[in-house]
Structure formats: structure tokens, C-alpha cells
């Protein structure tokens, strides 16, 4: 009985969290919110073994980097690791985390503004429906389903 219950819970969990159905940006990258009112977004793409994070406004148009800052952390809570973040006119670049690890980003629009935290799991497993990595899954969850 206990084995069946564990199997049932595992099955339901995998169905509930199988597809991420994330918002994708104009360059096909994952959109993260960098504001409380959806006026600033970060579009995360991977190129040349690095994450590239472009800043986008509310209309998903590019924003030049100026006074904005970004810090990145990964790893276990007991021993988090800071990642080196490079800044250029188009946004930020940082090293990839290992598959299955979380990337935690802390964004500030200006040195005096409040920090906005965004995070996602770098899930590289392939979605069976859209054939994309789960962290870029195009499938949307159906209404009423998890």
C-alpha cells in the first residue's frame, strides 16, 4: 500500500511539473521579470557556452544597459557560488550552470533601486511535445490542468 501511494504521488508530481510552459522573448529566450510592474524583463539565451541576458522593456524592445547591475548565484543553499557577470551594451553574460541547478539572478535598475530576484532551474531535459529543452518549453499548461 505504501509503495502504491508513493508511486501515485510521484506520478502526479511529474505530471504537475513536467512542462514549464515559460514565456519566450523575441529572440526565443526565456523571459524573466526584472520589475514588479512588468516594465523590465530579462531574456535569457545560451550562446557559446554562456548565458546572455538582454534587457527588454514592457513592449519587449531592447533596452541599453547603463546603470543596471546583475548578480548571479548558483549551487546548494549551504554553499552558494557567485558567478562572474560581464556587462556590455546589449546586456549581461555569465557562465552556464550545470544541468538541473538553479540560477538566481538579482537585478537592480539603478544603484539606489530595490533588488528584484528572478530564478529558474536550468532543466535541459527535452520536452516530448515541443522537442525543446524544458527550461525553454513552448508548451502551455491547459486550463484546469497542472
Instruction: Pull the grid cell for residue 62.
Output: 531592447
Q: Tell me the pLDDT tens digit for each residue of 23-56.
A: 999 999 999 999 999 999 999 999 999 999 999 9
Phi, psi angles (nearest 5°) of residue 15: -70, -40
Confidence at residue 76, expressed as pLDDT on a 0 to 100 scale: 84
Residue 37 vs residues 57, 61, 89: alpha-carbon distances, Å: 11, 16, 24
For the chain, percent of residues with pLDDT exceeding 70: 81
Task: Tell whether the model's pLDDT for residue 138 goes beyond 70.
Answer: yes
**Which cell numbers hold the place of 132?**
525543446
Quick one: 76 exposed, middle or buried, by C-beta within 10 A (0-12, 13-18, 19+)? Answer: exposed
Class of the domain covering 20-136? mainly beta
Q: What is the pLDDT of residue 13?
A: 38
Q: What is the mean pLDDT of the chain?
A: 85
Amino acid at each position: 500500500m505504501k509503495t502504491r501511494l508513493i508511486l501515485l504521488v510521484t506520478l502526479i508530481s511529474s505530471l504537475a511539473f513536467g512542462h514549464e510552459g515559460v514565456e519566450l522573448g523575441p529572440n526565443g529566450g526565456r523571459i524573466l521579470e526584472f520589475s514588479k510592474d512588468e516594465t523590465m524583463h530579462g531574456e535569457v539565451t545560451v550562446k557559446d557556452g554562456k548565458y546572455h541576458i538582454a534587457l527588454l522593456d514592457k513592449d519587449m524592445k531592447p533596452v541599453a544597459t547603463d546603470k543596471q547591475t546583475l548578480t548571479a548565484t548558483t549551487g546548494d543553499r549551504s554553499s552558494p557560488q557567485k558567478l562572474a557577470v560581464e556587462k556590455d551594451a546589449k546586456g549581461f553574460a555569465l557562465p552556464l550552470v550545470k544541468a538541473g541547478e538553479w540560477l538566481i539572478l538579482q537585478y537592480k535598475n539603478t544603484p539606489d533601486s530595490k533588488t528584484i530576484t528572478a530564478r529558474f532551474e536550468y532543466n535541459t531535459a527535452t520536452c516530448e511535445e515541443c522537442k525543446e529543452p524544458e527550461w525553454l518549453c513552448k508548451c502551455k499548461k491547459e486550463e484546469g490542468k497542472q
